[in-house]
Amino acid sequence: MRTVRMYDKIHRARMGKRWRALEKCARQLLASEPNSVYAIQLLGEALEKQQKVAQALQSYELALAIDSAEKAETIGQTFFLRRLDILYHRARRYEDCHRVCEYYTRRHPDSWDGWNRLRRAAKRIGDASLSAKAKEHADEIRERQEARRRAEEQKQDRFTAIYEEKLRAMGYDPEAMAQEGPHPSFDASDEEWGEWVRRTTDGERIDAEISAGLDAIRELEWEELNERLGPPRPMGAEERRRLLLRTFGQLPEAGRSGFITYTDRSFPDNWVQLTDEVCVVSLRNWNGAAPLKAAQVQALRARGFHSSPDNVIRHKGLSTGELAALIEELFEILGSTADFELVVEMTDS
């Protein structure tokens, strides 16, 4: 049975190169999970490290048989395939290399490693056509991998540029701050952000970094959305109303956490989040827009829509038509044009 303690024993056996202990762990797992590819290939590894190559091959072949019968875990189990190819190659059993690598590419068609191994195996058995085809597939996969890597690097560079721009707008020097300790990347885990917060004692700087980071993430996501959808298009009031009414039905029920975010595509800082009881308006833009339209805001409050803080508007008890009209009015106060395109995001947490 897989437990934290068992994984710890496996890790310690591997790190300490205690292969008999690893074999024991594998056999314990197999006692409770006889069809586990993970356990079988773990046993094969332990046997191979003890120079019991014939037994290791039997274990790896058993893993292949179970995997091909679709009784195994479906994610990330390729170790036994790689070891089979290597061991058969060492034994000059090239037909077996070809058999294993052909299965490898069927099971994991997007694996560069699988196609590259098949290229070598086909070459060894004299199948030049298959070798060329496998090389072509491997090259295509490598090109896609490189393109994704470059895209991720460009995304990180763009995030950094936006992030530093936001910091400068708040009066901070990003270069000076970097010397005091790097901030987490845009895709950092909650634990990494928490460690950074614990390491940083300047409360105002923490607020600035978090604010800049969230703004940068939002702007980067918006750039990607615009790249995918193209430039904003005019949307009439009636089309927006139909969109609003259609999405109200997807609002999480009372008592469940979740909301719908409506955003002006031309001005992404103009947004309204809708829950089952309130509308939350973009505080940054609301603070700037509300004083300019004080009479309209005061009329909202007189109708009983005001809540606390100022950018939270109660809507409990409104019909769907009245709620759609309220959201349109909030966007008008924020300064959105009459033909702005409305974008909808659902969040059900």
Average pLDDT of adjacent 10-residue blocks, the chain of 349 residues? 80 93 93 88 95 96 87 65 95 96 94 96 96 97 94 89 86 75 65 67 69 82 81 91 89 66 88 88 78 81 73 86 92 91 82
CA dist., res. 46 & res. 42, Å (int): 6
pLDDT value, residue 59: 95
Which pTM was predicted? 0.59
Distance CA 346, CA 258 (A): 8
> What's residue 33's pLDDT?
86
> 34 preceded by cis ω (within 30°)?
no
pLDDT at 196: 65
Going by C-alpha positions, the residue among 44, 119, 53, 106 that lies closest to residue 80 is 44
- The pLDDT value recorded for residue 310 is 73
**Ranges of each domain in the chain:** 4-143, 153-229, 237-348
| CATH number assigned to the domain covering 4-143 | 1.25.40.10
Q: What is the pLDDT of residue 235?
A: 93
> What spatial distance separates the first Cα and last Cα of the chain, rounded to whole Å?
32
